[in-house]
Amino acid sequence: MPSAEYWAGFFDGEGSVVITRTGHVRLMIAQKKHEILKFLIPEFGGNITYNKLTEVHQWGICNPEAIRKFVNHIRPYLSVKAEDVDIAVECCGLIRTKNLGCNRMPREQFEKRLELRNKLLSIRNPRGAKSFTWDEHREAVKDRALADYKNNNIKRKAYSAKYRDSHKEEFSKYREENRDALRESARKHYWKVRSKELSECGSLCSDCGVDLSGVDTRDRIVKEGRLFCRTCHGKTRNYTPKVYTEEQLKARKSNEDRLYRERHREQTKKRQRAYYDANKERIKAYSRDWYRKRTALQTYTSALPDEGNLGATG
């Protein structure tokens, strides 16, 4: 393990202190080769990342306790970055060690962090140091969030286009092979929705009151939840609702009830006829057996003596 003097000189040459706009602190050391950086992890923690563009390995720590430990280890031997690490330690003292849930950081505390950040920037670049206020920080956060959203949206659209192009040929082949099945499925779905609309609208035309129960479904038109016949549909483009009196509403209701009873009676007859046609032989056999049993019972009861004669004989 290298000595504290070695790490202090190493940090003076290759190290850096970063305070983000949100007030978080990070100490970093960059190096082309990562072998020497591995000695820092067992003692101070942190992790090593690799930048493919610059081809540089970078060790970094952001935990306040680890930062204080590393600074106390090398602070007596620093010369160039001494003031930087002092600012970092001071900023670590403002970081909350306890998770407070959804409670936001107080504005006064955040402004103190921004002052330390601006002070650090002025040390690095005294000529063109860029300082930030609270309002500028909020605007920068909003702009960054909007830029990330737009970037992600562009990536998502590009991925969707790529996915669509890659699967377009496969989908076309599938559609050609299953054209009939897809048409049948679409037709079933259409008539399912269509029958639901017709059942909810009743059987009478909303304009002329004609019963459309026996009319072809193509001549029953549903518009805005109301049923119209083919004749009245052309009149409803500039439709004004028709107002009915209580007597007319009662008459419409009684007419609908009467039509429902008649339709129910006809459906019952159709079901009875269909059942009889399907079980004709069984019903006839049952009727013959029942008639034979009834005849035998009548013959047996006619052969019995009357109660009066039975009493006289006794």
Q: CA 296: distance to chain centroid?
A: 75
Range of the domain at 261: 243-292
Number of domains in the chain: 2
Segment among 23-27, 153-157, 261-265, 304-308 with least mean pLDDT: 304-308
- 161 belongs to a structural domain: no
Q: Which of 203, 210, 192 is nearest to 263 (CA)?
A: 203
Give pLDDT, residue 251.
82
Mean pLDDT value across residues 133-141? 68
Whether 217 and 229 have beta carbons less than 8 Å apart is answered as no
pLDDT in tens, 104-119: 667 777 778 778 888 8
* Claim: this prediction has a pTM higher than 0.95: no
Strands 226-229 and 25-31 come out as unpaired
Q: Looking at the predicted structure, is the pLDDT value of residue 76 above 70?
A: yes
Percent of the chain exceeding pLDDT 90 equals 0
Residue 88 lies in a domain: yes
Q: How far apart are CA 309 and CA 287, in angstroms?
A: 36
Q: Could you tell me which residue, 233 or 183, shows the higher pLDDT?
A: 183
**What is the mean pLDDT of the segment spanning 65-81?**
87
Query: Is 213 a domain residue?
Result: no
Residues whose CB falls within 8 Å of the CB of residue 12, separated by 6 or more in sequence, listed in order: 78, 79, 80, 81
Average pLDDT taken over every residue of the chain: 77
* 270 falls within a domain: yes
CATH of the domain at 69: 3.10.28.10
Name which of 39-48, 252-261, 268-277, 297-306 the model is least confident about.
297-306
Does 43 reside within a domain?
Answer: yes
pLDDT per residue over 269-312, tens digit each? 888 888 888 888 888 888 888 888 888 887 877 776 655 544 44
